[in-house]
């Protein structure tokens, strides 16, 4: 699996140091691209050297996996494929189920939609608190033994849960939100991943578009998933845009775009960190990938640290219902919905 981009390790896989999060091609964010545009974006990413593509059973109720299945699998040997279970549609209804039986069913559905018999990296999308993590990981161990998946990942879980899971079977990756304005992994998970040789796969590394100039004072469409997130609502949005403006000033000084500066910051947090920004635009993807080749002075990165302290970012990350499904640590000063 070759790429002209810099590479990093995720378990047994060597991948481009920046992957592609595919969620917004089918799910959650608006405007959503037409299928043909989404297909072009995926192929452009592969041609540009991206070798990590991230999807999930949840995204678009399986439509995102179907999109990757029909678009990329004729070039299956050129990339690492990752997907997720636990959060999914079962019996026509969205739910969270980490039981071994549900995991096995969702995996079979994912294999069918992706048109493959093997998924390289398969995550537990969320922690089902009604099922011991050991039982959920055990179901994936059996999938590894059956040759249906190659490596096991966790998503949005704490360092304590990671250690329990890792005691059952080596965990290849922890996927969680990580950007200057969401730094919860710095409480414990980032260091635990480094200690255990687990990759930290950073989703929403551009703060769900806010640090890439994709959100203005008017906010987002009412049907967009971000509209329900407190940080995108008044009065928090205005305060967070003010932080973004300060980052834009640093980007001008450095001579890059805010998105590139933000991604450079995420990449600087450790060699085991792999960001997976999402986009519907090939031009924006090229802009993001260019962050892999820019050099940002340490002083500029340190200034970002001082701007985006946990106390400075305004508003809870999730609604109360969504936060209940999150196992990651929270700051003592962090507001919760």
Helix (H, G, I), strand (E, B) or coil at 196: helix
Helix (H, G, I), strand (E, B) or coil at 153: strand
Instruction: Please state, in angstroms and rounded to a whole number, the distance separating the CA atoms of residues 110 and 64.
Output: 10
Q: 276: which residues sit within 8 A by CB, 6+ positions away?
A: 18, 19, 20, 21, 52, 54, 175, 201, 202, 203, 205
DSSP 4: S
What tokens does 127 get?
């922690």
What tokens does 48 get?
């540009």
Are the C-beta atoms of 1 and 80 separated by less than 8 Å? Answer: yes
Cα 26–Cα 40–Cα 287 angle in degrees, nearest 5:
90
Cα 164–Cα 170–Cα 173 angle in degrees, nearest 5:
90
The conformational region for residue 182 under phi > 0 = left, psi -120 to 50 = alpha, else beta, is beta
Instruction: Please state, in angstroms and rounded to a whole number, the distance separating the CA atoms of residues 122 and 68.
Output: 15
Active site residue 123: no
Which residue out of 29, 59, 123, 318 is catalytically annotated? 59
Catalytic center residues: 59
């Amino acid at each position: 699996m070759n790429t002209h981009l810099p590479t990093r390790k995720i378990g047994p896989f060597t991948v481009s140091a920046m992957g592609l999060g595919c969620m917004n091609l089918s799910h959650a964010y608006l405007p959503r691209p037409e299928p043909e545009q989404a297909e072009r974006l995926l192929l452009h990413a592969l041609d540009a050297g991206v070798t990590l593509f991230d999807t999930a059973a949840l995204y678009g109720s399986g439509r995102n996996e179907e999109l990757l299945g029909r678009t990329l699998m004729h070039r299956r040997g050129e990339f690492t494929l990752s997907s997720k279970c636990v959060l999914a549609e079962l019996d026509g209804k969205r739910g969270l189920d980490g039981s071994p039986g549900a995991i096995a069913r969702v995996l079979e559905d994912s294999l069918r939609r992706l048109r493959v018999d093997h998924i390289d990296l398969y995550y537990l999308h969320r922690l089902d608190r009604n099922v011991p993590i050991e039982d959920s990981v055990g179901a994936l161990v059996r999938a590894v033994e059956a040759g249906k998946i190659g490596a096991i990942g966790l998503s949005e879980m704490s360092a304590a849960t990671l250690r329990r899971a890792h005691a059952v079977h080596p965990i290849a990756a922890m996927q969680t939100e990580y950007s200057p304005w969401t730094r919860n992994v710095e409480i414990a998970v980032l260091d635990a991943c480094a200690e255990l040789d687990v990759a930290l796969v950073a989703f929403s590394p551009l703060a769900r578009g806010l640090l890439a100039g994709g959100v203005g004072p008017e906010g987002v469409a009412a049907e967009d998933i971000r509209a329900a997130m407190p940080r995108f609502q008044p009065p928090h949005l205005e305060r967070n845009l003010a932080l973004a403006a300060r980052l834009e000033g640093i980007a001008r000084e450095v001579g890059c775009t805010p998105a590139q500066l933000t991604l450079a910051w995420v990449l600087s947090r450790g060699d085991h960190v792999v960001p997976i920004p999402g986009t519907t635009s090939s031009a924006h993807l090229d802009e993001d990938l260019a962050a892999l080749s820019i050099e940002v002075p340490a002083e500029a990165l340190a200034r970002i640290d001082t701007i985006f302290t946990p106390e400075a970012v305004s508003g809870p990350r999730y609604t109360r219902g969504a936060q209940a499904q999150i196992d990651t640590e929270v700051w003592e000063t962090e507001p919760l919905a």
